[in-house]
């Protein structure tokens, strides 16, 4: 998609900022999967963007892709969000008008092996950012939360008022940050936070230049389908077909990453204008089964993708999907792209040159910050270990 096309895609979510802008929008994790698509939408909507990322699960080339799509290279600072001194310096220097906080780790399975690392990065990093922002002005933050905070659904669709009982260290780290941010908004009436609880983000930018590039073997369904479709894997393992759902496979609420990006632009507008703590589900409101997604992806790539049914994956919930009403009322946001577009865009990226470049071994992408992760792991376990992205490949020592 061209820059103009990107503008059209994002403009519906927000008018350009009005009045003199005090500073850029700080986007932590802005070279990651969801952050990079959000940078494109922010720039298309007229915001200046400052990305802060330690490149532990992304590469610098993503900045070029963002610039190629939107016509503007975002400002970039390579830093770990837990590095208080660096984050203070960056915030004091650029005086961002608000922060969108994506930076973190996101694998349920990895969080069971390395819970302390998850709390350190996800909770510690959020506190660090929050304190740096609060030193300048009442903090304005859009926070990447997750539907995983709900745990096993007591009722469907999931509403924001559903009790929170996350079942993993990852989910608990997200819930903890939400609680902290809510308390901050209670204590400081000028503070404003929107916590967005994403359901299952999938898809890619229509240009094929940005998408999801998990390191190693993907553990999530859509990137694995991309692997099968591009011939890197022979078939998909379907984790169970004896769930109490119409076709026996699990049902999820998939949301296109560009719709998700647009939700952040809408949430940014809210934090810039409405103090207080707000929370919204970001999902389509439609449940899709594993077999239905295989069918949609097969149609998108033009051949029937092979699969075999294997045993259930421990911890999987049979069915969940969002009630997106709050997002509609609070943010004026609803998902626009259907499952066919999700699969078509995911497939275009999975078979693109950009995806091949992004999936090259991490060796060439080691950064000072990745070195920090490795050093911290090595110090504890006594062996040099580099943190793997998205729960794939070797994780850190569980004792950390």
Question: Is residue 102 near ligand NAD by the rule CB under 6 A?
Answer: yes
Continuous H helices in 219-367: 221-229, 257-273, 290-301, 325-326, 339-350, 353-358
Cα–Cα distance between 46 and 48 in angstroms, integer?
7
Provide the minimum distance between the beta carbon of 128 and ligand NAD in the complex, in angstroms, as a whole number.
9
Determine which residue in the list 175, 221, 260, 385 makes contact with ligand WQD, applying CB under 6 A. Answer: 221
Beta 307-310 vs 236-239: how paired, if at all? parallel
For residues 274 and 269, give the distance between their C-alpha atoms in angstroms, rounded to a whole number: 8
Query: Which of 96, 125, 157, 283 touches ligand NAD (CB under 6 A)?
Result: 125
Range 343-382, binding ligand NAD (CB under 6 A): none
Chosen residue from 5, 88, 95, 220 binding ligand WQD by CB under 6 A = 220
Q: How far is Cα 188 from Cα 179, in angstroms, rounded to an integer?
A: 14
Identity of the residue, 146 or 192, whose beta carbon is nearer to ligand NAD in the bound complex: 146
Site for ligand NAD contains 253 (CB under 6 A): no
State which H helix or E strand residue 197 sits in.
strand 192-198
Verify binding: residue 290, ligand NAD, rule CB under 6 A: no
| Residues 126-165 as x/- pattern, contact with ligand NAD by CB under 6 A | ------------------x-x-------------------
The answer to whether 45 touches 20, Cβ cutoff 8 Å, is no
Closest approach of Cβ 200 to ligand NAD, in Å?
6
As measured in angstroms, the least distance from the Cβ of 375 to ligand NAD is 13
Binding span for ligand WQD by CB under 6 A among 65-73, 75-83, 231-239, 368-376: 231-239
CB 171 within 8 A of CB 148: yes
Q: CA-CA distances (angstroms) from residue 369 to 58, 356, 374?
A: 12, 23, 9
Cite the active site residues: 170
Residue 224 contacts ligand WQD per CB under 6 A: yes
The span of 46-54, 60-68, 186-194, 215-223 binding ligand WQD (CB under 6 A) equals: 215-223
Residue whose CB is nearest to ligand NAD in the complex, by number = 32
Q: In this structure, how many other beta carbons lie within 10 angstroms of the beta carbon of residue 217?
A: 14
Which of 68, 239, 295, 366 forms a contact with ligand WQD (CB under 6 A)?
239
Q: Do the Cβ atoms of 196 and 264 come closer than 8 Å?
A: yes
Nearest to 4 by CA among 94, 71, 90, 98: 71
- Using CA atoms, how far apart are residues 301 and 241, in angstroms rounded to an integer? 24
Does 53 bind ligand NAD (CB under 6 A)? Our answer is yes
Q: Quote the CA–CA distance of 23 and 95 in Å, as a whole number.
A: 6
Binding site for ligand NAD (CB under 6 A): 29, 31-35, 53-58, 80-82, 102-106, 121, 125, 144, 146, 198, 201, 389
**Which residues in this chain contact ligand WQD in the complex, by CB under 6 A?**
106, 108, 146, 148, 200, 219-221, 224, 236-239, 250, 252, 290, 313, 316
């Amino acid at each position: 998609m061209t820059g103009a096309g990107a503008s059209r895609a994002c403009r519906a979510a927000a008018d350009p900022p009005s009045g003199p802008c005090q500073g850029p929008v700080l986007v932590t994790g802005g070279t990651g999967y969801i952050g990079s698509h959000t940078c494109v939408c922010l720039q298309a909507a007229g915001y200046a963007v400052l990305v802060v990322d330690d490149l532990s699960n992304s590469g610098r080339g993503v900045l070029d892709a963002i610039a190629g799509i939107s016509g503007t290279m975002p400002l970039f600072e390579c830093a770990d969000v837990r590095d208080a001194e660096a984050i203070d310096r960056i915030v004091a220097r650029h005086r961002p008008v608000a922060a969108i906080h994506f930076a973190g780790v996101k694998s349920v399975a990895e969080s069971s092996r390395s819970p302390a690392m998850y709390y350190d990065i996800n909770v510690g990093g959020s506190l660090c950012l929050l304190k740096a922002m609060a030193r300048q002005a009442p903090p304005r933050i859009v926070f990447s939360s997750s539907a995983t905070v709900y745990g096993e659904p007591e009722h469907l669709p999931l509403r924001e008022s559903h009790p929170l009982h996350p079942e993993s260290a990852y989910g608990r780290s997200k819930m903890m940050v939400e609680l902290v941010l809510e308390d901050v908004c209670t204590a400081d009436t000028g503070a404003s936070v929107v916590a967005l609880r994403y359901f299952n983000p999938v898809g890619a930018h229509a240009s094929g230049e940005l998408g999801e590039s998990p390191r190693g073997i993907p553990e999530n369904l859509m990137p694995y389908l991309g692997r099968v479709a591009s011939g890197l894997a022979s078939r998909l393992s379907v984790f169970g077909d004896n769930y109490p759902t119409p076709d026996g496979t699990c049902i999820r609420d998939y949301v296109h990453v560009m719709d998700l990006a647009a939700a952040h632009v809408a949430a940014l507008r809210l934090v810039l204008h409405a103090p207080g703590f707000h929370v919204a589900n970001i999902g389509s409101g439609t449940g899709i089964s594993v077999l239905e997604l295989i069918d949609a992806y097969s149609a998108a790539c033009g051949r029937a993708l092979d699969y075999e049914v294997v045993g259930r994956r421990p911890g999987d919930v049979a069915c969940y999907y969002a009630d997106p009403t709050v997002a509609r009322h609070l943010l004026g946001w609803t998902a626009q792209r259907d499952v066919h577009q999700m699969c078509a865009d995911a497939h275009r990226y999975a078979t693109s040159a950009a995806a091949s470049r992004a999936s090259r071994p991490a060796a060439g992408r080691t950064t000072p910050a990745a070195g920090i992760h490795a050093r911290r792991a090595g110090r504890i376990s006594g062996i040099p270990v580099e943190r793997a992205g998205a729960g794939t490949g070797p994780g850190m020592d569980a004792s950390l």
